[in-house]
A and B are shown apart, each in its own frame.
Chain A
Amino acid sequence: MKHKEVPLFRVYVWERPVRIYHWINALCILVLCVTGYLIGNPIVLQHGGNDASNHYFFGWIRFIHFATAYLFLFNFLFRIYWGFVGNRYANWKNYFPYSKKHFQNMWDVLTVDVLQIRKKDIETPGHNAVANFMYFITFLAFLFEVITGFGMYSAMSDNWFSDLFRWVIPVFGGDLILRMIHHAVMWVFVVFTIVHVYLVFYHDYVDGSGVLSSMAGGWKFVSKEKFLKKNQEKAAEGK
């Protein structure tokens, strides 16, 4: 075997606040999905002679769900803020497919990585175009879950913050339908997580850019030649 040198460039892609956001978000989604599923399908305490005054099991599950929901919301709001002040990979503009180029990139990812009917070298230090679009969809799901969730919570809380969501129940026409939709959208997160984790492994394996560890250290490895060329192009565009 011959050793061929491939010059790689180490790029600091995910800044520390983005990484912290990611892991808080992941933890929140895990907790919210588990507690949310249990709220819909509770485990029954089955010890003989149980008396309600000795237990608060379901109350705790619900408390954890509500408390985590607050953390989830404020973490999400922080991420939106970071979309305006963070580096180019965190910028809010990435998430909206508005340019022809973005759609072209999405097509490339779909044909090369998803369907694998074409071969092309796609190198994106940040999220690729399809990933960006999917995150945009998940942000909408975040928003939807926050609105429906706090809408239901407003019926049992006098807190001024949840009172801001008093309008939600009348819009949906009742708690039952709101509950069902809120519960159903949870599965979007489950499916998203499965695909997300798989694709991280996939790209780590196929691209060799270190994406799996990038959410720990923030670094990714890209071809030096291309990265510098791209930077020059960007600089030229800027002028």
Chain B
Amino acid sequence: MDETTSSVWEEMKNKGYSRRDFLKFCAWMGAFIGVESTGISSVVRAMETKKRPAVIWLHLQECTCCSESFIRTSHPIVADIILDNISLDYTETLQAAAGHQAEAALAKSMKDNWGEYILLVEGSVPTGEDGVYCCIGGKTAEMRLKEAAEGAKAVIAWGNCASNGCVQAANPNPTTATPIHKIINGKPLIKVPGCPPIGEVMAGVIVHIMAFGTIPQLDGQGRPLAFYSRRVHDTCYRRPNYDAGLFVEEFDDENARKGYCLYKVGCRGPVTYNACGVTKWNEGTSFPIQSGHGCIGCSEADFWDHGPFYQHLASFPGFGIETTADKIGLGLGVATGVGIAAHAVITNISKKDEINEHIETSSVPDGDREGE
């Protein structure tokens, strides 16, 4: 671990980037994190003067897809700058050190930057059986997270595992996988959900913190508004088909070939908050809907449990798979119809005397006729 306290600009200069490259990077990032063009200068100033932040990246119960996504951010400078220039002092996947060396590096980094470092957490925390399901360096995931969070300036929950529990927390959740916001208190926490989150979104969140020293504006669920304020549906290029009522009904039908809306084959776009429609994936190449498959809602809480993925309305809990609210509702409606028919029959039998009495006492006397 080097001891430099240089800024991003100084680092870039040392690496041989030109001033022009640096300004391009700042403008690109500024646009990405949603500042106005007039705000680019403050990004430039921050990158010129601010000491790069120390970063500790914990890998708990996860599959590393968030890291994989992050190192594939579309702009080559992003991965370069982020990985080289923010001092990434500890991350199991990317660090060179191992074993005791790694532990020592973590301890040193925490001590040197106490209260200043940014803690990035990938993965959920299994709390079942005293946390035996995930132990690293002789400590449970929960112990490591609590220790590291203690001295953090801010905590970022990478991906759906850290944000919502994701696949490990899916029913029946055998390891009692818990999202990190339920473990740590009293620290600013940013959730960057997705399975994985978009690499550019991850870079954008970090650059925001680097540039402004504050956490980005968050929504009611703790997600950065810049990336999660709109539903995939709102920015989907197939949206006009939805409004027109043009839907795919089978993946091999004519409507699928025409690229109509995937709503009826289970697309979760209308209920999923993410930037896929705008930022897209793999250097802005495509995103699931563009490839002809509906969104599975991977940045939403409990998306694994709200299946099946190819059905728009989730199965109704307690009735087995593929039983929707509509099937149950229709059943109830029919049962009610049968019930009232039976009730009507019984009424005519059990209230026969009463009704006959009413008829008798209200009848016109014999012999009377109107007009007489």
Q: How far is the CA of A56 from the CA of B302 in the complex (A)?
A: 33
Q: Do the beta carbons of B325 and A187 come within 8 Å of each other?
A: yes
Number of A residues contacting the other chain (C-beta, 8 Å)? 51
* Chain B 206-244 interface residues, beta-carbon cutoff 8 Å to A: 220-221, 231, 234, 240-244
Note all chain B residues with C-beta closer than 8 A to A190: 329, 333
Bound-complex Cα distance A170 to B314 (A): 18
Which single member of B258, B340, B358, B362 contacts A195 (CB below 8 Å)? B340
Question: Is residue B370 contacting chain A, with contact meaning CB distance below 8 A?
Answer: no
Which of chain B's residues has its CB closest to A180's CB?
B314
Interface membership of B300, Cβ < 8 A: yes
Q: Select B329's contact among A6, A42, A169, A184, beta carbons within 8 Å.
A: A184
Q: Are B360 and A2 in contact (CB under 8 A)?
A: yes
Which residues of chain B are within 8 angstroms of A191 by Cβ–Cβ distance? 329, 332-333, 336
Given the known interface contacts A3-B365, A54-B244, A202-B347, the answer about A167 and B220 at a Cβ–Cβ threshold of 8 Å is: yes
Cβ-defined contact, B245 with A55, below 8 A: yes
Distance of A97 from chain B, by nearest CB (Å): 23
Residues of B within 8 A of A175 (CB): 231, 270-273, 300
Closest Cβ–Cβ distance, residue B191 to chain A (whole Å): 11
- Asked whether A187 lies within 8 Å of B329 as measured between CB atoms, the reply is yes
Cα of A50 to Cα of B254 in the assembled complex, Å: 11
The answer to whether A176 and B297 touch (CB under 8 A), given A195-B336, A202-B344, is yes
Please classify the interface of chain A as helix (H, G, I), strand (E, B), loop, or mixed, using the class held by over half of its residues.
helix
Question: With A58-B245, A169-B220, A187-B332 in contact, do A180 and B355 touch (Cβ < 8 Å)?
Answer: no
User: Does B302 contact A177, Cβ atoms closer than 8 Å?
Assistant: yes
Hey, which chain B residues are within 8 Å of A45, CB to CB? 244-246
Does A57 lie within 8 Å of B244, measured CB to CB? yes
**Chain A nearest Cβ from B244, distance in angstroms:** 4
CB-CB nearest in chain A for B361: A4
Binding site for B on A (CB under 8 A): 1-4, 6, 37, 40-45, 50, 52-59, 61, 114, 116, 119, 155-156, 166-167, 169-170, 173-177, 179-180, 183-184, 186-187, 190-191, 194-195, 198, 202, 205-206, 208
Shortest Cβ-Cβ A-B pairs, 6 listed = A187-B329, A55-B244, A57-B245, A175-B271, A184-B325, A52-B240
7 additional contacts (CB under 8 A) given A55-B246, A56-B243: A44-B246, A57-B244, A173-B302, A180-B314, A184-B316, A195-B336, A202-B347
A-B contact pairs, 18 of them (CB 8 A): A2-B365, A41-B264, A42-B263, A45-B246, A52-B241, A58-B243, A59-B244, A114-B343, A156-B234, A174-B306, A175-B300, A177-B302, A186-B329, A190-B329, A191-B332, A191-B333, A194-B333, A205-B347
